[in-house]
Amino acid sequence: AGAGAAAAGAAAAAAAAAAAAAAAKRRDVTMGILSQIPQLAAVGCFAATGGLLYLATDLGFDHEGPLYLVEPEGMPKAMGAPVLATFGVFCLYYTYLFQQSAGAMSGLKRAKADAKKNDQPKPSLGSVKYGKLQARYNLKWTRTAGNYMEQLPPLLTTLWIHAYLVSAAEAGLLGWVWVASRVIYPVVFSVGFPMILLSTGVGYTVIGYFILRSISVVTGIDIPIPSPLPLLS
């Protein structure tokens, strides 16, 4: 009787272990599928950014004057360049947010492999995306999204002030220059200083240009900064 009970207990334990292994495998498969969603969303948003740039180039940057001088019936066309640049800024913003999530998923996979190799507790997604493992497994995409958000409020504010007071065409064109500077951020971040200034430095220069030109208009002070429009258009 004792031997039979032991055998039954062993069989039950084996069945429980098999069920747990099957459940773990299902979770891994589910996580594998879910981990592709942020990556696909990031690719889609980046493609949308490119599509908006194509539309902006096709529309052109013809309205070189300020928006406050435009008659109401001409406002939609005059606003085309800054509007499309703004949408491009937002598309790249969501590209990097989704890519940050995709990077966390990928980082979690590496973190689990390292934990298993070193006989350590299995890490959670939160620890890789938000916690102490973030710097080790997802730093590039976290900083890409973070630095983007640091520049985003002043960029959008100054872009539209510039469009209204100085030049809608300049605002739109330089908005795309700013977007281009952010596209290369993940690459130059990996290289490090001073290459990262090719991204952050250009971004701050665009914002600074918007500020100085707008101040020149509202104060009447002549600030001798040449327009980049002839060079970029």
Tokens of 155: 């960029």
The sign of the torsion formed by the CA atoms of 66, 68, 70, 73 equals positive
Residue 40 is predicted with a pLDDT of 86
Q: For residues 100 and 142, is the Cβ–Cβ distance under 8 A? A: yes
Say which range, 129-138, 172-181, 224-233, has the weakest mean pLDDT: 224-233
Across the range 42-56, mean pLDDT stands at 90
What would the mean pLDDT of 15-26 be, rounded to a whole number? 64
Query: For position 178, what pLDDT does the model report?
Result: 97
224 class by beta-carbon count within 10 Å (0-12 exposed, 13-18 middle, 19+ buried) = exposed
pLDDT of the residue at 212: 95
Structure-token pair, residue 98: 């989704």
How many C-beta atoms surround the C-beta of residue 11 within 10 A? 10
- With a CB cutoff of 8 Å and minimum separation 6, the contacts of 94 are 41, 42, 45
pLDDT (tens digit, 9 = 90+) per residue, 165-224? 999 999 999 999 999 999 999 999 999 899 999 999 999 999 999 999 999 999 999 888
Structural domains of the chain ordered from first start: 61-219 (1.20.120.550)
DSSP 8-state secondary structure symbol assigned to residue 70 = S
Among 51-60, 70-79, 81-90, 172-181, the least confident range: 51-60
pLDDT given for residue 122 in this prediction: 87
The pLDDT-based confidence of 28 (bands split at 50, 70, 90) is low
In angstroms, the Cα distances linking 150 to 83, 106, 180 are 21, 25, 16
What band does 32 get if pLDDT is binned at 50, 70 and 90? low
Tokens of 199: 């991204």
Average pLDDT, the chain: 86
**125 Cβ contact partners less than 8 Å away, ≥ 6 residues apart:** 104, 105, 108
